[in-house]
Chains A and B, each alone.
Chain A
Amino acid sequence: MMSCREVCEKAQDFTDGTLGPLSRAKIRLHLLMCRNCTGFMDQTQQTSRLIKSTLAHQKASSVDPVLLAELKKRKK
């Protein structure tokens, strides 16, 4: 039986889907019986979603005129 500490250590890999089937099954079993780890896993998953969303909304600066000038050369 996996301990809460082990579940915590593997929470990000579980969230990312990078664990093997046996580890995933052990964690799922633990989560069925442990409200604390279920809460921690939810924190981990929400954090990952918020990071993705925040990074996705970052805007690039406008395109530098030097790059646009280089692009125009291709049209010739």
Chain B
Amino acid sequence: MSDTEMRQRLVQGDEDAFAEIFGALNPSLIRLATALTGSRAVAEEVTQETWLAVISGIERFAGKSSLKNWVFAILANKARTRARQEGRTTVRLDHTSKAGSGDADTTDPDSFDDSGRWREPPMLWDEITPERTLAGRQAWEIVTDAIKALPTMQQAILDLVQRENLAAAEVATLLGISPGNVRIQLHRARERIRRQLDQAQTEPHGGQKSHGCKK
């Protein structure tokens, strides 16, 4: 459904149209709000307020951005306001992250010799489908748990980039951080998940060192 059609149907109070946009965006909205407020409970309230604002103010959507970006922007504003009111820090990034440091801080130096060659070759993976069983669990379960274990900011970034297909610059605006930081956090998140998948293949019960990049 196009944004124009969705707008028109929401103006008319169409429940099917609302169920569609709610189903598509709600998980990502909660993740973004959690990252911005630092609280899942507050995030759920802010997300609810966002949907109420969307329903009551859909006429104000002028099509200058995508409808999705418009909804995310409403949520980010509400979440920041709420975080300020409650004296919460809106952005939590670990102290080693800094824009412009490139990807070097995600590289595990132990994986390479002085000339930059692999010390031990990385494992060759067979094709992993989401349903494939690794270490007694399906791959999608391993990925789901790995995502849940990430810092909330990395979860939000992963979600906005990989589920919502937003560009790093758009994510940066929503989160109030630099695009460089978005990329660094995204790389760290995906590298952590890659290592967990690698570990699940190499050692059924975990514990073996994985090769490649840190975290």
Binding site for B on A (CB under 8 A): 3-6, 8-10, 12-13, 18, 35-37, 39-40, 42-44, 46-48, 50-61, 63-64, 66-68, 70-75
Contact = CB atoms under 8 A, between A and B. Distances in A.
Contact of A39 (B116, B124, B128): B124
Given A4-B118, A50-B140, A43 B55 contact: no
Residue of A39, A51, A63, A75 most packed against chain B (CB within 10 A): A51
Contact of A63 (B18, B27, B106, B112): B18
B15 A8 contact: no
Contacts, number: 142
Counting contact residues on chain B (CB < 8 A from A), the size range is 35 or more
B22 A47 contact: no
B34 to A, nearest CB: 14
Contact of A8 (B107, B123, B168): B107
Given A55-B159, A61-B26, A71-B18, A12 B190 contact: yes
A63 B140 contact: no
- B contacts with A: majority SS: helix
- A contacts with B: majority SS: helix
Interface string B100-119: 00111011000110011110
Contacts of A3: 112, 115-117
Contacts of A6: 116
Contact of A10 (B103, B140, B143): B103
B22 to A, nearest CB: 5
Contacts of A54: 130, 140, 143-144, 147
Contacts of B55: 67, 70-71, 74
The 10 closest A-B pairs by CB, nearest first: A3-B116, A74-B13, A60-B26, A5-B116, A55-B163, A75-B13, A47-B194, A9-B103, A54-B143, A5-B112
